[in-house]
Chain A
Amino acid sequence: MKAFRGRLSIVNDRQEEDKKAELTIKDLRLSFGGVIAVKDVDLNVHTGELMSIIGPNGAGKTSLLNCITGFYHPQKGRIIFNGRDITNLHTHELVSVGIGRTFQNIELFPGMTVLANMTLARHIHCHYSFFNSCLFSPSVKKEEIRHRQVLEEIIDFLEMQPIRKKAVGSLPYGMMKRVELGRALALEPRLLILDEPFAGMNLEEKEDMVRFLLELNQTWGLTMILVEHDMSIVMSISKRIMVLNFGEKLGEGTPEEISNHPEVIKAYLGDVDTL
C-alpha cells in the first residue's frame, strides 16, 4: 500500500545534511606512459545538480570518473568532496564518503539474485558486530529489517518486483543496467556517478531510465554525474554539461550554451569551414 505512506522512507528520512555533495576537481592530470588521458581538468559539481560529461570516444570521460571513484590515482591535481581531499582514497573508502557509481560494462555477480547483489551494497551501512550477527540478536534483526526495507523501496522505485529473486545472469541487458543502478542506490550515496547508463538500451528502456534519473534528481535530491553519448537525453535532462576532447576540457555550461559552443560543434561535427 504505497499510497498510505506517501513518499518512500528512504527519500523522506534523508536530511538536507545527508544530501550535501560538493565536488571540486582542481587541475587534474592522469597519464598512462606517454599518453595523457586527462589533461589539467577543473570541474565543480554542486549539491543537487545533474552534471553531464560528454565527448568523443577516447576523450577521457571514463578515466576522469575512475579518478573520482578511486580506480585510478592522478599524477597531479586534487579532488575535494565536501571539503575532504579524496584524491588518494581507495574505492572502498570512497563508498563510505558517499560516492556511488555504475559501470559502462556491467559489473554484477551474474550467479547471484538481484536482491543478493543489492544486499552486498548495504555492507557499509552494517553497524553490528560479527559476534552479534552470529547470535542474530534483536538489534541485528532490527537492522537487517531496515536494510531489507531500503532495498525493497529501491526495488519498488525501479519497478524490479518481478525480477527480485531472479539470477542476474538470466536478465536482459537493459534490466541488468537497472539492477546496477539499484545496487548503487542501495549505498545511499550523496553523489551518484553513472557511466553510460543508456548504452545498448532500446527506446522503452531508455525512457524508463530517464524517468528514474529525473525522479532521483528531483525528488530524492541526489547529485549526479552522467557520462553519456546519447545527445538528446543529455541535452534534455542535464543542468550543466562539460565537454572533453583528447583529455582536455573544451567547454562547460548549460545545454543551450554547449549546443552553441563553436569548439564543441567543431569536435562533434567537424570544422564548419570544411563542410
Chain B
Amino acid sequence: MEGNRHNILDSTAQKNCPGFKTLPQILAANSSEYGDKKTAVRDKAFGIWQKYTWADYYRYMEKTAAGFTALGLKRGDTLCMIVENHPEWLFSASAAHALGAMTLNLFTSSIAEELNTSISRIDSPIVIVQDQEQTDKLLEIKEKLPFIKKVVYIDPTGMTSYESDPWLISYAQLLETGEKYLEGNNNFVEDEINKGRPDDIAVMIQTSGTTGIPKLAMLSHRNLLSIAMQWTQANDIKPGENWISISPPAWIVDQMWCFGVALQSAMTINFPETAETVLEDFRDIGPSLIITSSRFWEDMASSIRVKISDAGWLKRNLFYVGESVGKEIVEKTSKKQNIPLKLKILYKLMSKLVYRPLLDRMGCSHFRSAFTGGHPISPDVIHFFRAVGLNLKQCYGLTEAGGIFQLQPDNEVKLETVGKPLPSTEVQIAEDQEVLVKSEAVFSGYYKDYETTQNAFIDGWLKTGDAGYIDADGHLLIIGRKEDIIRNKSGEAFSPDFIETRLKFSPYIKEAVIFGENRPFISAMINIDLGNVGNWAEERMIPYTTYMDLSQQPAVEELILQEVQKVNEQLPDLMKVKVFILLYKLLDADEEELTRTGKVRRRFVYGLYIKIIEAMYRNEKSVNVLGKVRYRDGRIGEIETTVKINRVE
C-alpha cells in the first residue's frame, strides 16, 4: 500500500482494541503493516499454490468493492453468496463489509426453491454464485427475484452461451468494472471503510430452525472481532500461521475464522483446489490449527487404518506396537498416573519411528491444536489420534454466540467435556440446566425478528438451548438439546441421546434405548450388532444359531457388560447405566419401533416392552416374555423366551 493512507490504523496497540474497529479497517491495517511481505491467502489452482499478499488482498477487495458500487450495492444492503471456498469468496465478502453491506452465505447444495426463500427475505441486489450450476438455479427462479440487479459468476467454465444475458456478469468483468470506477475516484473505498462503525452488522448466518423458515442470525463487526481476539489470545496465534478453509462458507466456523480470527491475527488462509483434494492439499500446507466436524477425523482414522492394513509386515507391526504404547501413555496421563521410565523411552522411540512419519504423511505434523466440534466424537478415534501424538481436542459453540467459544485447554482433554470458555466469555448454568453464555461476541439479534431475539436472551445472557453442567475441573459438559432432556425420580436432568450415542460408538452395539424418566436409575435396552458380535463369537468358537440365540449367550452378555462399563467410565454418576438387557430381536421400522430415518421411537418402544422395563426396575434376574415378530412377508409370529437382566457394578 502506498504512502501512509492507513497510518491512523497502523499501530498494533490499536489493532488489539476491537471496540474501535471494523473488519475492513483491520484488513487495511494489515495491508499497510505487512504489505507484500506476508502472505494473506493461498489458493491451489492449476496444481500450484497461488499466493496473495496482504497488499494483494486489499487491492482485490478494493476493486471488488468498487465494482459492487458500480452495480448498485449500497450501505445497509445485503450481498448474497452461493460460493465455495476460494479467494473470491473472501474478497467479495470483505468488499461488501467495506461498503457497509452485510453478507449472507448460502449452501451450494440448496435447491432453487430454498434459494428463492432465503434471497427473497433479504432483497439482495447482487448475488455471487460459484459456477454454471448455481447460475442455472437462479435463472430458474429469475421471475421471482425482481430485486436482483446482477448475478456475478466466479467460474467461467461452460458459461459461453450465457454471455449475452445482461443479468449475468463474470467476476473478471466485475473487477474490470471496479477498476474503471476507481479511476478518478481513488479514495472511494478507503472513505467507505472509514465510515464503518463497529456495531454495523457484518454477516448474517442462516441457522436451522426446528419450525418454519430458518432464522437469520446477525453478527456485527464487534461480535466477530471479539471472538477473533479471544481465539488469538487463547491460542497465541502468530501472523503467518496456516489455516485451511474446508468447511462450507455458509457455516459459522469458516466465517468466524476467515473474516475474524485470520484477519485479526494475520494468519494465512489456504483454499484447497477442490473438495475432493482436501486431504492432499492439507498435506501440502500442514496447517497449525483446525476446527472440523468429528466426521473428518473419523474418515481420516479409517483411511489410516485401511492403508496400514495394506502395508508390509514390518510397518504394520510397528504401527500396532506404536499405537498400543501411545494409548497406554494417554490413559496414564488422563488418570494422572506416573509413567514408568521404560514406557517413556519406548514412547520417544515410537515417536521417531511411527508417530512423526505418520502425522507427516497425513499433513498433521504442524498442528499445535486440532479441534473437533458438532457431533460427539467416538472415543476410539480421539484416543487413536491422541495416542499418535496429535493434539486433538473438543470444542463447542453456536452461531448465535459468534462461533466456537468453548474449548479444551492443552493437557486437560476429557472425553465427555467441551472444555473451558474463551478468556472474555462467561458461561453459566441456569436453574433448568440450560447453558447460558455472555460475551461481546454474542450476536446482535435475528434479522427482522424482534420477538425471537427477545426470547433468545434471559437477563442479558444468551440461551444456548443446550442443557449441561460444569464439572469439578470447571469443564462444561453438554448433555443434549434442552427439549430432549428427561428427569429421573429425584428431578435431575439427563439426556437419553447423550448416553445412547456413546453406547453406539461400540462396534458391538447396534442400537440402544435408554429409560429412566421418573425412575431411580437408568436402564438400557440394547441391540447387539449381528455382524460384529457374530464374528467375535466365531473367532472364539462360540456356536449360535439365530440373532435371538446369539443375544442371550452368556459370553455375549459379558462382552456387552464390558462395553457398558467402558461407557459408564465417561459418564457422570447420575447418567451411568445401572442395568441393561439384550433384546432378543432388532428394533425395526416395519414394526414402527424406528422411524424410517432410523431414529428410535422412544415412547412407542417403552409401551411395547413395558414388561421387560418394569422387570429391570424390580431387581429381578430374568423375565419371561412373549413377543411378536413380523416377518418380511407380513406374517406375524410369536416368540417365547427368557431375557436375562444384567446389572452393571
CB distance A155 to B47 under 8 Å? yes
B277 at the interface (CB under 8 A from A): yes
For residue B272, which residue of chain A has the nearest CB? A161
Give complex CA distance A215, B88 in Å.
Answer: 24
Nearest CB of chain B from residue A63's CB, rounded to whole Å: 34
For residue B271, which residue of chain A has the nearest CB? A1
Contact of A2 among B156, B161, B276 (CB under 8 A): B156
B-contact bits for A206-221, CB 8 A (1 contact / 0 none): 0000010011001100
Max count, chain A CB within 10 A of own CB: residue among B45, B47, B158: B47
CB distance A2 to B155 under 8 Å? yes
Residues of B within 8 A of A153 (CB): 46
Q: Among residues 1 to 24 in chain A, which have CB atoms less than 8 Å away from a CB atom of chain B?
A: 1-7
Stretch at the interface among B167-175, B485-493, B517-525: B167-175
CB distance A152 to B155 under 8 Å? no
Residues of A within 8 A of B161 (CB): 218
Contact of B88 among A1, A148, A219 (CB under 8 A): A1
Given contacts A161-B273, A161-B274, A162-B277, contact A5 B50 (CB under 8 A): no
Contact of B45 among A2, A157, A215, A219 (CB under 8 A): A2
A contacts with B: majority SS: helix
Nearest CB of chain A from residue B39's CB, rounded to whole Å: 14
Contact of A6 among B86, B170, B276, B280 (CB under 8 A): B170
CB distance A152 to B47 under 8 Å? yes
B43 at the interface (CB under 8 A from A): yes
Number of B residues near A (Cβ < 8 Å) is 25
B109 at the interface (CB under 8 A from A): no
For residue B48, which residue of chain A has the nearest CB? A152
CB distance B43 to A1 under 8 Å? yes
Give complex CA distance A7, B159 in Å.
Answer: 10
A156 at the interface (CB under 8 A from B): yes
Q: Among residues 571 to 605 in chain B, which have CB atoms less than 8 Å away from a CB atom of chain A?
A: none
Contact of B171 among A3, A149, A164, A211 (CB under 8 A): A3
CB distance A3 to B88 under 8 Å? yes
Contact of A156 among B45, B170, B175, B280 (CB under 8 A): B45
B437 at the interface (CB under 8 A from A): no
A159 at the interface (CB under 8 A from B): yes
Number of A residues near B (Cβ < 8 Å) is 23
CB distance B47 to A159 under 8 Å? no
Given contacts A159-B274, A161-B274, A162-B274, contact A3 B154 (CB under 8 A): yes
B160 at the interface (CB under 8 A from A): yes
B87 at the interface (CB under 8 A from A): yes
B4 at the interface (CB under 8 A from A): no
Residues of A within 8 A of B276 (CB): 161-162
A-contact bits for B268-289, CB 8 A (1 contact / 0 none): 0000011011001000000000
CB distance B47 to A1 under 8 Å? no
B211 at the interface (CB under 8 A from A): no
For residue A220, which residue of chain B has the nearest CB? B160
B-contact bits for A161-177, CB 8 A (1 contact / 0 none): 11010000000000000
For residue B159, which residue of chain A has the nearest CB? A219
Contact of B157 among A1, A148, A162, A215 (CB under 8 A): A215
Residues of A within 8 A of B50 (CB): 1
Give complex CA distance A153, B157 in Å.
Answer: 11
Give complex CA distance A225, B156 in Å.
Answer: 26
CB distance B274 to A4 under 8 Å? no
Residues of B within 8 A of A164 (CB): 47
Contact of A3 among B47, B48, B158, B172 (CB under 8 A): B172
B-contact bits for A126-161, CB 8 A (1 contact / 0 none): 000000000000000000000011001101110101
Give complex CA distance A112, B128 in Å.
Answer: 40
Give complex CA distance A76, B160 in Å.
Answer: 42
For residue A211, which residue of chain B has the nearest CB? B158
Given contacts A2-B154, A162-B276, A219-B160, contact A152 B170 (CB under 8 A): no
Nearest CB of chain B from residue A220's CB, rounded to whole Å: 9
Residues of A within 8 A of B155 (CB): 2-3
Residues of B within 8 A of A156 (CB): 45-46
For residue B45, which residue of chain A has the nearest CB? A1
CB distance A152 to B154 under 8 Å? no
Give complex CA distance A153, B156 in Å.
Answer: 13
Give complex CA distance A206, B415 in Å.
Answer: 47
For residue A163, which residue of chain B has the nearest CB? B276
CB distance A215 to B158 under 8 Å? yes
Nearest CB of chain A from residue B506's CB, rounded to whole Å: 34
Q: Among residues 39 to 74 in chain A, which have CB atoms less than 8 Å away from a CB atom of chain B?
A: none
* 25 interchain pairs, CB-CB under 8 A: A1-B43, A1-B45, A1-B50, A3-B88, A3-B154, A3-B155, A3-B170, A4-B171, A4-B175, A5-B172, A149-B46, A152-B47, A153-B46, A155-B46, A156-B46, A157-B157, A159-B274, A161-B276, A162-B276, A162-B277, A162-B280, A164-B47, A214-B158, A215-B157, A218-B160
Given A4-B172, A215-B158, 4 more pairs with CB closer than 8 A: A1-B45, A6-B172, A161-B276, A211-B158
The 3 nearest A-B residue pairs measured at CB? A162-B276, A152-B46, A3-B171
